[in-house]
Structure 1
């Protein structure tokens, strides 16, 4: 772990999207040291704390419900 932290300290983190919460909110994980970040309400990257994990879970649930409702509405209107 110390070698990966040293690598990230020297070269910087190598973040990849680990989870797409909504179109605008994503979670990122460093491939080397496994540090996790998310986007806040201003679009800035911040550390993924348990509080933000909970917020992202709620956001994801609301977003998915809305997308399902919109999909059903589109399907039902295209039938008529």
Structure 2
């Protein structure tokens, strides 16, 4: 089992995000259409859902994204091999 540490949140940056909104950057590219994002100020993590909207990155969504990423990479390598 992995031991994970949660980054300490700065209350000032949380206020900044509540006033001006989050500044998300791509933290992981799952597929061509699904990505995981992280706010550079408060470290909040979100992902794109089925409808293309941003939703909170829960442990269940992380598991779904990792499974989807594995399937995507397997399919992509199989397609590349068949073309070559």
2:28 to 19, 41, 58: 19
Task: Provide the TM-score with structure 2 as the length reference.
Answer: 0.87
2:72 to 39, 63, 68: 63
Instruction: For structure 2, list consecutive stretches of 5 or more residues without a partner in the other structure.
Output: 1-9
Coordinate RMSD, CA, aligned:
0.5
SS in 2 for 1:69: helix
Give the helix-richer structure, 1 or 2.
Answer: 1
Task: Provide the TM-score with structure 1 as the length reference.
Answer: 0.92
Residue 73 (structure 2) pairs with residue 73 (structure 1): no
Runs in 1 of length 4+ with deviation above 4 angstroms? none
Q: Report the counterpart of residue 31 of structure 1 in structure 2.
A: 40
Instruction: Please say which structure displays the higher CA radius of gyration.
Output: 1
How many residue pairs align between the two structures? Answer: 75
Residue 68 (structure 2) pairs with residue 52 (structure 1): no
Displacement of 1:53 after TM fit? 0.1
Q: Report the counterpart of residue 5 of structure 2 in structure 1.
A: none
Q: Report the counterpart of residue 78 of structure 1 in structure 2.
A: none
Instruction: For residues 3-59 of structure 1, give each alpha carbon's deviation from its aligned partner in whole angstroms, at most 9, with x where no partner exists.
Output: 110110111100001100000100000000000000111111100000000000000
